[in-house]
Structure 1
């Protein structure tokens, strides 16, 4: 029964996410912060303080952001950290999705978001919490893993209102 409920939530999250504003991924990725330090030679950048990453309606807020662009343009990896770092995106039909974690990793090439450490994703009132959540934005696939000790995957379902 528990597996069927988890599957129902994941399908619900995925069906809403499948309506994600695909135009977001055609937009440039913009980064702003209080401070910046980088190595052009190594193609690694570090942004500190009030970091904001935007790509269309996709937003990542963090205290610190590392950008690895060593694999080339369009293949950057963004690693945001904070207490917590946050992600949000507006889906078609004005359905927002929000997430937070101690670390958020966004791979531009694969469009995969990995939330690690006190990870939480919220959509339409339904919430998934766990040690690690991986969310494939392009394929609309969600995978949550419990952590060591007692941290387990926790899901809250909100029924539709008539």
Structure 2
């Protein structure tokens, strides 16, 4: 049985909305890997072996990535590996959001990131873990699911959320 927990939190419990670095989307994407297959006509790029992708403050590492772009310019990214990882600076703060999972899927149309398989998202000292984490990069709404009994060795899957207290104002 899978447990689902809808979290409408901005992981640091701040009242202000904090988003990923806005300038990143206007910067070029640099991809490096051991090998690649690029089909510009179909809009499909496959990179394998020590894949490193960077765009501004966003960096991602994976064993394999598949990046597609449709005629309207919408992009999808699938990253696979023994813990694909990403890190991105938050807009206007000297703080980063970091995540890892066995698979990471991103769709620009919906602004959804889905981390599957030992998923973990960390922002500052706050942490969310589960078998699958769905995160909207615009609304900052998380949905976290624990694993099924088969996926977690016969025990019920659990999610973990660690939220640090808000610093108190000093007199």
TM-score between the two structures when normalised by the length of structure 2: 0.78
Aligned to 1:77: 76
Q: What CA RMSD, in Å, does the superposition of the two structures yield over aligned residues?
A: 2.3
Pair 1:115 & 2:121 matched? no
Distance 1:135 1:77, change over 3 A: same
Distance 1:18 1:112, change over 3 A: same
Q: Aligned-pair distance for 1:33?
A: 1.1
Pair 1:133 & 2:147 matched? no
Q: Deviations over 1:58-104 (max 9, x none)?
A: 111101111122x2363121101111000110112111111000001
Q: CA–CA distance in 2 between the matches of 1:129 and 1:56?
A: 26
Q: Aligned-pair distance for 1:116?
A: 0.6
Contact between 2:88 and 2:98, CA under 8 Å: does it hold in 1? yes
Residue segments in structure 1 that go unaligned for 5+ positions in a row: 1-5
Contact between 1:136 and 1:142, CA under 8 Å: does it hold in 2? yes
Q: Greater shift after overlay, 115-124 or 48-57? A: 48-57
Contact between 1:14 and 1:140, CA under 8 Å: does it hold in 2? no
Higher relative contact order (CA 8 A, sep 6+): 2
TM-score between the two structures when normalised by the length of structure 1: 0.82
Aligned to 2:3: none
Q: Greater shift after overlay, 129-138 or 105-114? A: 105-114
| Greater percentage in helix | 1
Corresponding pairs, count: 155
Larger Rg: 2
Q: Aligned-pair distance for 1:110?
A: 3.1
1:62-73 counterparts in 2 under 5 A?
Answer: 62-69=62-69, 71-72=70-71
Q: CA–CA distance in 2 between the matches of 1:35 and 1:102?
A: 20
